[in-house]
A and B are shown apart, each in its own frame.
Chain A
Amino acid sequence: MKYQVKPLPPFNLPVLHTVGKPLRKVDAMGKAVGATVYAGDYSMLQMLHGKVFRSKQSSARITRLDVSKARALPGVACVITGFDVPNARLVSDMPGQTGQKQRAGSDVPVLASEQVRFYGEPIALIAAETLEIADKAMSLIEIDYEPLPGVYDPLEAMKPGAPVVTPPDNIVARWKIRKGNVESGFEQADLIVENTFRVPYQEHAYLEPEAGVAWIDERGVITIRVSTQVIEHFRTIARAVGVPQNKIRILGTMVGGGFGGKEDITTEIYLALLTKHTARPVKIVYTREESFLAHSKRHPYVIKHRTGVKKNGLITASKIEMISDSGAYPYLSAYVLLYTTVMAPGPYRIDNVQVDAISVATNNPYTSAFRGFGGPQACFAYEQQMDDIARQLGLDPLEVRKVNYLRTGDCTATGQVIESAAWLEETATRAMAALGEQTIDYGSVKIGQGFASYFQSYGRITWLHDTSQSWVGIELDGTVTVRAGVPDLGAGQANSLCQIAAEVLGVPLERVTIYCTDSALTPLSGTSTATRQLYMSGNATLTAATTVRNVLLSRASKHFEEDMEALDIVDSKVFIKSDPSKTLDLVDLVRMCASEGMHLSNLALFKAPFTDPINPETGQGQVWPDFTFGSFAVEVAVDTETGEVTILKAAACHDIGRAINWAAAEGQIIGGGMQGLGYGLMENLIVKEGVIKTPSLSEYLIPTSMDYPDIQAIILESGTGLGPFGAKGIGEPSVTPAAPAVASAIANAIGVSIPEIPITPEKVLAALDQAQATVMK
């Protein structure tokens, strides 16, 4: 397929000095020389080692739990069970945030004492002088289970009489969209296309297993140093532990990979309980196998599409049903379901939409946030559906999409107006063009090219009333300090705020230092989730820095006897734009301001749009602040005798609004894309009767450097985002289109589409065999 790449509409983004450049991030060198300290790298005097004793049953009653021998082992400081802390309950479905707005479901016992609902559920905590003693104590805990019937399929869990995992009926969440009239839409259609798609679990597989160290001080304040995406969890932790909210302090460390897996509470409550009970510092580090069991997974879905189309490809009606596996506890299932529901029809303009979505509890591993948060699952289904529509109509895949692509000013399925640029055709054509001429088939190897387009929100659900704070100040020597609660997951969350402050205050990036991720001492910036940090904290930082800049320039305008607008600051020098030889050192200006009592710092609060929840019957209303749009293209070689798929070329084109750090944006696009390719081809979490059969990195495979070629990152900047300098977000969007793109390319290569990922060699052969059998009939 050769597509014409049209020039982009002219857009004049202002020239910036620091923002946009591929500068060395403020955290890079520390990590390069191994000086950066991660949560598991901390040790304290008198520190105990903590361990979590976990269930080895997926569904059972605990009939006997005897920890006496473990408690009696010399060197064991304490053993805590659910009987010791009966009120310790975790609010699993409250997304930690700057303010609480709405609950979606039920609580989780911190330590199970009567019943276990998933394999790996925590039952007891141990703290001991050494890890060896803690391990030995684990083996001394005696437990008897009475296995209970379990349910491992959401469809089964919905049937009357199914074992109840989440009372009363295992239904954890439902969402609906009713827009227009699908029945009349189907009547208008020339063709109706129906397909069912299946997407699996995905494991975050961050390189850093969960870890933390906690201690209690003379005031009873419990400080928890932990690898987390959310420091606002201190409220939930306080409640579970039974202490006041202002006595829990979270020191978030540099996170060794999050992707949503460290969005829920991980080790914090265990650490807090153990340190409270022993009055000594406690450290917990999960093993890799434990990490697999302990944290959430991406929701598996079954998504059924029924689409009515005209001969020219115009979609007249879209009816979608979906069911997701929430696992043993709700966590964020309701919100993930919402994302999949709203994104279900894809970035297409459809007048008649009906979506019915349900999330169901089972005794499987619990599911929660994972980069894309339901968007990648929706995208796999809607893009594969579009490809099938194209095939059945005999139309080119891009032509079919062009007829339907959302444009600026159109509405989504929930009636939200797209206000920013929606560069779908622009990104699809560029991504495909980057693949170049299609490689020629050879022997039993067939080549194919394919692409997928997507839209993915950035910023949180608007009825959660999200806010973020950032403090910016300039010191007497002209260096700049930023204080913000922002957790840095490696995507450059902290660095971006520094680059923004550097830009606005006209100083080199090296002169900016950020103090972050301390729930007691840094202004709360909200979660590092939902592709919100650049948008929210970036804007808060922009506002705070601009306020300080205005104070400085107001004084400078008196000095130069010029209007503020006539002045600028670059490289720590203030100057008149029309006559740059007239300068004033920033340091001197700062001293002037300080001696005159002018305030050289600012704490800014940025608010996302605050809306009301969407209508529960129709799903109509605004859901997010805005969307990122883009496309991903792949060329594959499929060995039709072995089923092996090799990616020959890959390209990802996204309109990110504005890049703050060019290299970091590329890194997100490539890294996220690779995670999506892994999701599409090799990441296979095998779960049987609730037990993960692949709980290690040699069994659950993620891509190595040998597996896929470089993903070419093509960055477009429309400048129409709501973030600082017109930025959108890319953290999650980067993963969303990759799996459907590779599925599309495989279908193009072998002439058969495979509606289920990961597309392993066996699935390819099975599809080829079935196609042969059909031909022969």
Chain B
Amino acid sequence: MKPQMITLHINGRTHFVALNPNLTLLVALRDLGYTDVKCGCEKGDCGACAVFLNGVAVNSCLVLAWQADEAEILTAAGLGTSEHPHPLQTAFSDAGAIQCGYCTPGMIISAKSLLDHKPHPTEAEIRDAISGNLCRCTGYAQIIQAVESAAEKMAAEGPAVFGGAGGEG
């Protein structure tokens, strides 16, 4: 196997990295320091590693980094900071939706993916949207409330205001 240079655009920054072909996007992201992308199972069973890949929410553990060459990647940390959090990040913090926090970045990616497509989701739609993100701490109820409250806030502020730092759908 020979490492090859690939280009990854992550949260608005461009990285040139030499990687072996068998490395996943998850490993590549974490090795570049994007440790907000969590590793929970490396099999697509838990959703902790979810990121936006060219605007589509995916398990980064199921994408080979080479497949993401030239792609726009957005991680949860790219959506906002403590000083300027994304409404979802604020809503999660205020609704008690965060306990250990390990599922949170992936959960927020799935929630944002939902709100990008359905700005006024029903509870059933929220449950379905996060059904690939396991949470062992919260029992999901407050997470659902957080998504509902973020949806309201984002709808009130107008569409496409909260895009985060990279390209997304």
B12 at interface by CB-CB < 8 Å: no
- Given A667-B137, A667-B138, A696-B43, A31–B127 Cβ distance below 8 Å? no
* Smallest Cβ-Cβ distance to A38: which chain B residue: B102
Contact of B115 with A by CB under 8 A? no
**Do A288 and B41 form a contact, CB below 8 Å, given A35-B36, A675-B136?**
yes
Asked whether any CB of chain A lies closer than 8 Å to the CB of B162, the reply is no
Contact with B along A1-45 (1 / 0, CB 8 A): 000000000000000000000101101111111111110110000
Knowing A31-B101, A696-B45 touch, does A24 contact B94 (C-beta < 8 A)? yes
Indicate which residue in B30, B77, B141 contacts A710 across the interface (CB closer than 8 Å): B141
Which residues on B sit within 8 Å (CB–CB) of A204? 136
Q: Please tell me if B53 contacts chain A, counting CB pairs below 8 Å.
A: no
Choose from B35, B43, B85, B98 the contact partner of A288 (Cβ within 8 Å): B43
Give the A interface residue count (CB, 8 A): 58
The 0/1 profile, CB within 8 Å of A marked 1, for residues 67-108 of chain B is: 000000001110111100100111011111011111111001
Please tell me if the beta carbons of A670 and B138 are within 8 angstroms of each other in the complex: yes
Known contacts A207-B100, A492-B99, A705-B127: A697-B39 contact under CB 8 Å: no
Judged by a CB distance under 8 angstroms, whether A205 is at the interface is yes
Knowing A24-B93, A206-B100, A207-B102 are in contact, say whether A490-B137 is a contact too (CB < 8 A).
yes
Task: Given A22-B96, A24-B93, A33-B80, answer yes or no on A697-B41 (Cβ-Cβ < 8 Å).
Answer: yes
A34 touches B96 (CB 8 A): no
Chain A, Cβ-Cβ closest to B31: A43
Residue of A nearest to B96 (CB): A663
Inter-chain contact A32/B92, CB cutoff 8 Å: yes
* Neighbour of A706 across the interface among B42, B101, B131, B139, CB < 8 A: B131
Give Cα distance in the complex from A717 to B134, angstroms.
Answer: 31
Instruction: Tell me the chain B residues, 96-139 only, with Cβ under 8 Å from chain A.
Output: 96, 98-105, 108, 126-128, 130-139
Cβ-defined contact, B136 with A206, below 8 A: yes
Q: Decide if B46 touches A705 in the complex (CB within 8 Å).
A: no
Contact B39 A40 (CB under 8 A): yes
Within 8 A of B (CB), among A195-221: 204-209
Give the dominant DSSP class at B's interface: loop
A28 to B142, CA, bound (A): 13
Which B residue's beta carbon lies closest to that of A706? B131
Whether A697 pairs with B75 at a CB distance below 8 angstroms is no
Contact B94 A207 (CB under 8 A): no
- Taking a contact as CB atoms under 8 Å apart, the answer to whether B43 and A489 are in contact is no
The interface size bin for chain B is 35 or more
Q: Which residues of B contact A491 (CB under 8 A)?
A: 99, 137
User: Would you call A230 an interface residue if the criterion is a C-beta within 8 Å of the partner chain's C-beta atoms?
Assistant: no
Task: Say yes or no for B38: interface residue by CB 8 A criterion.
Answer: yes
Q: Which of chain B's residues have a CB closer than 8 A to the CB of A702?
A: 134, 136
Is A671 in the interface zone, CB < 8 Å from B? yes
A648 to chain B, nearest CB (A): 15
Residue of B nearest to A669 (CB): B139
Residues of B within 8 A of A661 (CB): 96
Residues of A337-360 at the interface with B, using a CB-CB cut-off of 8 Å, are none
- Check A32 against B95 for contact (C-beta < 8 Å): no
* CA–CA, A35 and B79, complex, Å: 12
Judge whether B28 is part of the interface by a CB distance below 8 angstroms: no
Distance of A13 Cα from B97 Cα, bound (Å)? 27
Task: Please tell me which one of the listed residues A207, A667, A674, A696 contacts residue B103 in the complex, with CB atoms under 8 A apart.
Answer: A207
Chain B nearest CB, measured from A25 CB (Å)? 7
**Do most interface residues of chain A lie in helix, strand or loop, or is the interface mixed?**
loop
Expressed in whole angstroms, the minimum distance between the Cβ of B159 and any Cβ of chain A is 22
B99 contacts A32, CB within 8 Å? no
A15 to chain B, nearest CB (A): 22
| Inter-chain contact A209/B40, CB cutoff 8 Å | yes
The reply on A578 being an interface residue by CB < 8 A is no
Give B20 Cβ to nearest chain A Cβ, in Å.
8
Chain A contacts for B46, CB-based, 8 A: 207, 288, 697
B89: nearest chain-A partner, CB-CB: A32
Residue of chain A at shortest CB distance from B105: A34
> Complex formed: what's the CA distance from A706 to B132 in Å?
10
**Residues of B contacting A208 with CB < 8 Å?**
38, 40, 100, 102
Contact at B85–A33, with CB atoms within 8 Å? Answer: yes
> Chain B nearest CB: distance from A332 CB in Å?
21
User: With A37-B35, A40-B39, A706-B131 known to touch, is A254 a contact of B101 (CB < 8 Å)?
Assistant: yes
Chain B's nearest CB lies how many Å from the CB of A699? 9
Check A28 against B43 for contact (C-beta < 8 Å).
no
Whether A28 contacts B134 by the Cβ 8 Å rule is: no
A268 on interface, CB distance cutoff 8 Å: no
Interface pair B136/A205, CB less than 8 Å apart: yes
Q: Does A711 contact B (CB under 8 A)?
A: yes
Taken together as a complex, chains A and B put the C-alpha atoms of A207 and B50 apart, in Å, by: 13
Contact (Cβ within 8 A) A667 B96: yes
In the assembled complex, the CB of B145 is this many whole angstroms from the nearest CB of chain A, namely 9
Highest count of chain A CB atoms <10 Å: which of B38, B42, B81, B130: B38
Partner of B45 from A34, A492, A698 at Cβ < 8 Å: A698
A210 CB to nearest chain B CB (Å): 12
Given known pairs A31-B104, A670-B141, A671-B138, the reply for A207 and B38 (CB within 8 Å) is yes
CA distance A37 to B141 in the complex (A): 25
The residues of B that contact A696 with a CB separation of less than 8 Å are 41, 43, 45
Alpha-carbon distance A401/B94, docked complex (angstroms): 39
Residues of B within 8 A of A28 (CB): 92-94, 98, 101
Chain A residue, CB-CB nearest to B130: A705
By a CB distance below 8 angstroms, the chain A residues around B10 are none
What residue of chain B has the Cβ atom nearest to residue A712's Cβ?
B141
Query: In the complex, A172 Cα to B40 Cα: how many Å?
Result: 34
Q: Is the CB of B136 within 8 A of A33?
A: no
Bound-complex Cα distance A287 to B39 (A): 9
* Shortest Cβ gap from A205 to chain B (Å): 6
| B30, chain A: closest CB distance, angstroms | 8
- Chain B, residue nearest A255 (CB): B100
Q: Which of B47-81 contact A (CB under 8 A)?
A: 48, 75-77, 79-81
* In the complex, A523 has a CB within 8 A of chain B: no
Residues of chain A lying within 8 A (CB to CB) of residue B75: 34
Q: Does B26 contact A (CB under 8 A)?
A: no
User: Could you pull out 30 A-B pairs where Cβ atoms are within 8 angstroms?
Assistant: A25-B93, A29-B89, A29-B93, A32-B85, A32-B93, A32-B101, A33-B79, A33-B89, A35-B81, A208-B100, A259-B136, A287-B42, A490-B100, A490-B102, A492-B99, A661-B96, A666-B96, A666-B141, A666-B142, A667-B96, A667-B99, A667-B138, A667-B139, A670-B142, A672-B139, A674-B139, A696-B41, A698-B43, A704-B131, A705-B131
**3 smallest beta-carbon distances between A and B, as pairs:** A34-B36, A490-B100, A31-B101
Known: A206-B136, A667-B99. 20 other contacts (CB 8 A): A25-B98, A28-B92, A33-B76, A33-B79, A34-B77, A41-B30, A207-B100, A207-B134, A207-B136, A257-B100, A288-B42, A288-B43, A489-B100, A490-B99, A667-B138, A670-B141, A696-B41, A696-B43, A698-B43, A702-B134
Q: B residues touching A (Cβ–Cβ < 8 Å)?
A: 30, 35-43, 45-46, 48, 75-77, 79-82, 85, 88-90, 92-96, 98-105, 108, 126-128, 130-144
